[in-house]
Amino acid sequence: MNANAENIIEVTKLVRKFGDRTVLDEISFNVHRGETVVIMGGSGCGKSTLLRHMIGSMKPTSGVVKLFGEEITMMKERELERVRLRFGMLFQSGALLASQTVGENVALPLLQHTDKSPDEIEEIVKKKLEMVGLTGFEDLKPDEISGGMKKRVGLARALALDPELLFSDEPTSGLDPIMTAVVDELTLKLTHGTHMTAVVVSHDMTSSFRIATRMIMLGHGGIVAQGTPDEIRNSPNPEVQQFIHGEADGPIPLNLSQEEHEDHQHVKPRPFVAARHRFHRKTG
Amino acid sequence: MKNYLQLNLNLLYWILIAPFTGQFFKIGPIFRQMVAIGVRATPMVALTAFSVGVTLAMQAAHSLESLGAEMYIPDLVMLTLLREMGPVLIAVIVIGRSGSAVAAELGTMKVSEEIEALEVMAINPVQYLVVPRFLAMMVMLPALTIFGNYIGILGGWAVCRFALDFNTAGYVLRALESADTWDLYSGMIKSVVFAWLIITISCNAGLTVEGGAEGVGQATTTSVVQALLAMLVMNAVLTGIFFFAA
């Protein structure tokens, strides 16, 4: 069997720099069909940046990202749209269109990209909302439902076109434990039943170990560790152990100084703020 | 500036070329935007135009009475409204009301990741968000201008009929006689050009927002200031071309 044909995502030597700072440094990994890969790592380690490169909304400084065997880094907007129809993306905030109802949000990809009749679309919307436990919410506006509900509507929308590949940015943050279990089970059902591939960015260790077939831990711009959930659980790497057990003491630096933090967030240094801090240190 | 030109080229593609490749624009969103941008602005436009008509007639009466030329008041109201005050003032209202609303709406969508979500769903934000607003503005600003012209002339009539010695027929005849079709057309051409400027500047300001709620506020202000300046400069240029160069 040709191993490459099974690769849904191939990331090769991906480098992304913001100014002088290298956020992603020669990251390489593959995702095979049917896998659920969880990408984890501390805040600001480049998880979201990596995700944005995989969906084609950021262009790398160098390196290659291939989705379904096609290189997306050099693609024009129109070619990219063709690839984007094959995957769904759940944003951290849900990213629902605030001016449209829940039902219209879920129907949006169907209306734009299929020739289905309004009745068929209504049927699909109902089914997708039922899958995420939101039957009967079609006519509410996004600002009338809770954050967790928005996220689930976002998931229903991401699944509207029955994608082969699902990207989720923190799918379970802000959900209660029961809803987390529901979303996890849904992910498992989809990946097992329909051979959907999932790439999940998450902090939630319980949920990650429940759904992952493989885990990748990012840190210092590179991959710190990767393997099956068991391998990660038994990893000798102290950073991994600290992260999965959520301990305050360990090799991962805790309190970044302000300079380091700004460096981290790739914002321009703010001389006035620094001056104010110096002033307070002197006087305070 | 690069973003702005790119947006214009993109728009031209979606309006002139895409319909012939089977991607015709959807009518529903255009009508929804026509209501938001145009229909809801009618009370403000009416009030402004009426006040301007009244003011013009009073100023004209004041100056022309000393020359004994009161009979030319309708001419002055009519020509000023059709050529200048109508298109310009109604554009000002629409910039303040609808242009800023468009910039704020698109800006909020940008900062709440909605635009990125559209892109990831393979929905082009220019096609989905900008085209309906653009077409709605291109129809509604000239329509509002015609409506405003009528109301302004009504304002002039109110002054002439109730404060001066005009009768209604005299006012209407005089006003119609003074104006040429070109006076109306030049105003309409202006308002079409203004519509283009206003909506592209507002959409561009909204789509290029960065930095959260503060960014949205700044973009809204920028859109109003830029649209006003662009519109007034363009008005001077067009007046020069229409009434001076020829």
For chain B, give every domain's residue range.
25-239
Residue A67 has pLDDT above 50, yes or no: yes
- The answer on pLDDT for A1 being more than 50 is no
Q: What rounded mean pLDDT belongs to chain A?
A: 84
For residue B204 the two structure tokens come to: 């561009």
Tens-place pLDDT, residues A5-23? 478 899 999 998 888 888 8
Cβ pair A109:B121 closer than 8 A: yes
Report the pLDDT averaged over residues A146-163. Answer: 89
In the numeric block, the tokens 């759940």 are attached to: A90
DSSP per position, A139-197 = TS-GGGS-HHHHHHHHHHHHTTT--SEEEEESTTTT--HHHHHHHHHHHHHHHHHS--E
Q: What is the pLDDT of residues A91-100, one digit of tens each?
A: 988 889 998 9
The pLDDT of residue A253? 64
The three-state secondary structure class of A107 is helix
Q: Closest approach of chain B CAs to the CA of A239, in angstroms?
A: 32
pLDDT of res. A175: 83
Residue B120 to residue A55, Cβ atoms within 8 A: yes
Tens digit of pLDDT at every position of chain B (246 positions): 889 999 999 999 999 988 888 778 888 999 999 999 999 999 999 999 999 999 999 999 988 888 888 888 899 999 999 999 999 999 999 999 999 999 999 999 999 889 999 999 999 999 999 999 999 999 999 999 999 999 999 999 999 989 888 888 988 888 888 888 888 999 999 999 999 999 999 999 999 998 889 999 999 999 999 999 999 999 999 999 988 876
- pLDDT band of residue A3 (cuts 50, 70, 90) is very low
- Taking CB atoms and an 8 Å limit, are B122 and A108 in contact across chains? no
Between A78 and B44, the higher pLDDT residue: B44
pLDDT on residue A194: 79
Q: ∠ at Cα A203 (A199, A205), nearest 5°?
A: 95
Of all residues in chain A, the percent with pLDDT exceeding 90 is: 27
- Find the closest chain A residue to B109 by CA distance: A97
Query: How high is the ipTM of this complex?
Result: 0.80
In chain B, what residues touch A91 (CB-CB under 8 Å)? 113, 116-117
Helix (H, G, I), strand (E, B) or coil at B44: helix
Cβ-based contacts of A81 with chain B (< 8 Å): 122, 124
Closest chain A residue to the Cα of B24, Cα to Cα: A112
Tell me: pLDDT of A184 over 70. Answer: yes
Give the orientation angle of helix A177-193 with respect to helix A147-158, to 10 degrees: 10
Asked if A85 reaches chain B (Cβ–Cβ under 8 Å), the answer is yes
Dump pLDDT digits (tens) for A225-258: 889 999 998 888 888 888 888 888 777 765 555 5
Q: Which of residues B9 and A173 earns the better pLDDT score?
A: B9
Mutate which of A108, A151, A157 to disrupt the B interface (most B C-beta within 10 Å)?
A: A108
